[in-house]
Structure 1
Amino acid sequence: MKNFTQKADLQQHLGNLKAAGAVITFVPTMGALHQGHLSLIEQAKQLGDVVVCSIFVNPTQFNDPKDLEIYPRPIQADMQKLDAAGCDILFNPEVNEMYAGNEKWHLNLGPIEGVLEGTFRPGHYQGVTQVVYKLFNIVKPDIALFGQKDYQQFLVISKMVELLNMPVKLVMCPIVRETDGLAMSSRNIHLTPGDRKHALILSKTLNKVKQNFDPEKIAELKSQAEQDIAAEPDTVLAYFEIADGETLLPASKNTGNVVALVAATVGKTRLIDNVVIK
């Protein structure tokens, strides 16, 4: 695996590969890699010739400076995992390589930016689109892969690609779960053993809603899900929504694509999860 920290060096290398006809696939990450990320690398290998992964903890998408400070950065372990997974190129830049001081960025993303995560983390998706736009312009991938766990993020990035007419195909890959159902996340390392048990209420509740889904009873299903999560010790629900899978506005009985999404703080750790219902 080749490792690049400078944009210019990476672009020159990728330019040569593209000139030779290589299809470039790209997996952008913030590091602290787990099996979920590695499943994206696996999928990327199947879809193209050269797999690029970026590790960059992007400061502009953190609302809370403390959250940015404690974000795990095990770069040596991450590099070993990527190498073993068959990643071809790592781009691991410093902040000053990605940002030139006082940059301004605002993209009108429409209603998708303000719902669910957007309500709790204002400005978060501006930071996400800002950095992904930069990364897409540096790597110029043919295909970029993202995990379903960040479902809203995928829709936001899709919206950005559409608005800015970027020539990249986006692929959403399924959530990878622990054997007990917990969605894999870099934040899981902050869970105590007790928190870990309580966190299972999220995937259990999502599955229960999926198994019992009835378009005529969306309000009741949502209400019951909220009660189930609220009853779990050391768990504070931010939201549980049964939504339109394209707009994330509340689903109705006539909605074609339905997804259930949840966010909760378990102990001191904020977790998100979702399940596609239909």
Structure 2
Amino acid sequence: MLRLRRMLIIALATFGTCYLALCIAVFALQRSLLYPAPKGTPPLSTIKDFSRLPLSGGLYVDLFYLPAFPGAPTVVHFHGNGEEVLTQVGLGSLMEERGLGFLAVEYPGYGASPGKPTEEGIYEAAEAALRWLREQGVTVQQTVLSGRSLGTGVAVEMARRGHGARVMLVSPYTSIPDIGASAFPYLPVGLLARDRYDTASKAASVTLPVLIIHGEEDDLIPVAMGRKLGTLFPHAVVETVAGAGHNDVLEDLAKVYKHRMASFALGEP
């Protein structure tokens, strides 16, 4: 009996030690998992339509900017965690074809921009870019905030801070801890998460018109999260895309939804 009890205590202690080590590893590595930042992009500031926006501490982020036709809105877009500002040219060109302006904001530590990505650091870059846009003569009423995947949390925070008149969210999530909990249900993700992007808790305070587009076959951010957010924002429309997953919801399979975004940004039905 004593031997069995000793073996049980050793087994529990071993399990507890391994579990604690796993929690520590997840806490330490979570930002590398959350921000798989593309690297190796050449300097962009010498390329047409790209510029460099200074930030505090000697940092900077790259901007891709296409001015709007006179009187038309400008879409300010925040990309997903595996993208970079250079990959937003196609979306910007489509918006430009519809007469809209387009501003894509890089994240610290992404592409050619120095630093390390964090929630607060990305918010700082986003807000600095929006202040820069005001200096170009684009008003809050002419600003449409847009985000994809990770960037939806940035767009919602900027809306909460009063920086736009409409919001477009592609493949949004309720919060990063919610996503982590679905991927690691055996870990206390809510306690471990350093960057939270808690869109669900902010939604009620965002009274702007909101368009949500979500692929029905999304295996990274469940479509149920997009539908739930549609019930939390006071003025939201949810459009799900049959057959689309996470990465192709705006691509060839469903490119019509890029035009849907442009129509929404222009205030069309």
TM-score of Structure 1 vs Structure 2, range by shorter chain:
0.3 to 0.5
TM-score of the superposition, structure 2-length normalised?
A: 0.32
Question: Which fold has the larger relative contact order, with Cα–Cα distance below 8 Å and residues 6 or more apart in sequence?
Answer: 1
